[in-house]
Chains A and B, each alone.
Chain A
Amino acid sequence: MPDDEAVAEPTVVLPRWMEAVAALVPDGVWQIASGADVPTLVVASTHWRGVAEAMRDQGFRLFVDLAAVDHPERSDRFDVVVHLRDTVQRGLARLRTTVAEGGVLPSLAAVFPGAAWPEREVFDLFGVGFEGHPDLRRLLLPDDWQGYPLRRDYPLEGPRVLDPESRYAL
C-alpha cells in the first residue's frame, strides 16, 4: 500500500440503544464502548439492576450468560459480565461491572429469571454475593466446601492442600 494514500479511520457507529440506556440511567453508565467484538456498557455496581431493567425495556429480553473474571491485583477485584441479546433487532450487548472481594451486587434474578443459576454459580466459584437473590446456595460444589476455586489464588489441588484434615482430602 502506498504511503501517501490516506487510510480512512473506521467510523465507529454505536448502536442507538446505548445512548438511550445511558440517558435512562444517567449515573449508572460509566463508559460506553464499541468493544472488541460486542458493544459494551461499563456500569456502576450500585445501578446494576437499573441498567439491566433499562436494557430489558430497550428490547434486550434474552439473558444469555452471566460470568465473573478475577483480577487479583485490583482493589475492585472481580468483573461481573452479563451478555444480553435482542432477538428482534438481533443485537448482542455486554454489561460489565466491578465488585470488591466480599462485595455484594444487586441480583438480576428479578429482571431475568434465567440469571438465578448463573449467579449461584458465580457465588459458588468466585464468592461474589448477590443481594435479593431468591436462593443463593452453592450450585456445583458440595454445601460444606471451603473457599472459591476459580479465584486465582486458590490452589489447584484444592482442599488436599488447604486442609489435610478435610473430608475431601484424599
Chain B
Amino acid sequence: MDVSGQDAPRSWLGTPPPEAEGRSSEELPVPLWQHLPGVLTGNVQSFINWARSNSIWYMTFGIACCAIEMMATGASKYDFDRFGMIPRASPRQTDLMIVAGTVTEKMAPRIKTLYEQMAEPRWVLALGGCASNGGPYHEGYNVVDGVDKIVPVDIYVPGCPPRPEALLHGVMLLQEKVRWVQSAEKTART
C-alpha cells in the first residue's frame, strides 16, 4: 500500500478544513495519523515491553523432575511457541530462567553463574515447591530453601510438580509483569 499520502484516495484523507480550499494536498495541515492509516501512538517503553512480553526466550535448564513438566509445556499439546517462547541452550540468548527443580548446595553456584551470564533485562520463574522454598526437602542438609536465596525470583509457581496449565498461568503473569512494570526499574533492581 502506498502510504505517502500523495497518490492515496481522498476518502481516508478526511475533509480539508474550510480555509484550506484551493491549496494542494502537500500544503494541507493534515495530522500524521491521517496520512498513515493504522498508526498507533504511544511511548517507546510500552512498545518495547509489549515486544519483550511476546518473545520471552527461556533457558533449557532442568535440574529435577519439574523439568519434565516444563518439557511437556514446551511440547505441542501445551505449546510455549504460541507465547513466542523458544528454548535456548545458551544463557546469553535467554530472557527467562525457569528454575525447574530442587536446588542443591552444589548446584547453587552454577545457577548463580548462569543467572549472571544472562543479558538484562532477565527474569526468573521458580517452578514447583522445591525451587520456591525447598518443598519436601525443606531444611534438608544439602538443599537450598528456595532459589530466591541466591537469585531474585519474579514468579513462583506452586505444585509438586505443577501441571503445565499452572506453568502457563505463571508465564502469563510474567507477561503482565513485563508489560506493566518498566524494564528500566527491573534493570535497576537487579
Report A's interface with B, CB cutoff 8 A: 140-142, 145, 149, 154-160, 168, 170
Contact = CB atoms under 8 A, between A and B. Distances in A.
Contacts of A170: 144-145, 149
B106 A140 contact: yes
Q: Is the interface of A mostly helix, strand, loop or mixed?
A: loop
A155 B139 CA distance: 11
B105 interface: yes
B152 to A, nearest CB: 16
Q: Give 7 closest A-B pairs by Cβ, nearest first.
A: A158-B141, A142-B106, A149-B141, A157-B139, A168-B105, A142-B105, A170-B149
Grouping DSSP codes into helix (H, G, I), strand (E, B) and loop, the B interface class, with mixed when no group exceeds half, is: loop
Given A140-B142, A141-B106, A158-B141, 11 more contacts: A141-B105, A149-B141, A156-B140, A157-B139, A157-B140, A157-B141, A158-B142, A159-B141, A168-B105, A170-B144, A170-B149
Nearest to B134: A170
17 contacts: A141-B105, A141-B106, A141-B142, A145-B105, A154-B141, A155-B141, A156-B140, A157-B139, A157-B141, A158-B140, A158-B141, A159-B141, A160-B139, A168-B105, A170-B144, A170-B145, A170-B149
A168 B141 CA distance: 9
Interface residues of B, number: 9
B103 to A, nearest CB: 11
Contacts of A158: 140-142
Interface string B89-110: 0000000000000000110000
Nearest to B106: A142
Contacts of A159: 141
Interface string B103-123: 001100000000000000000
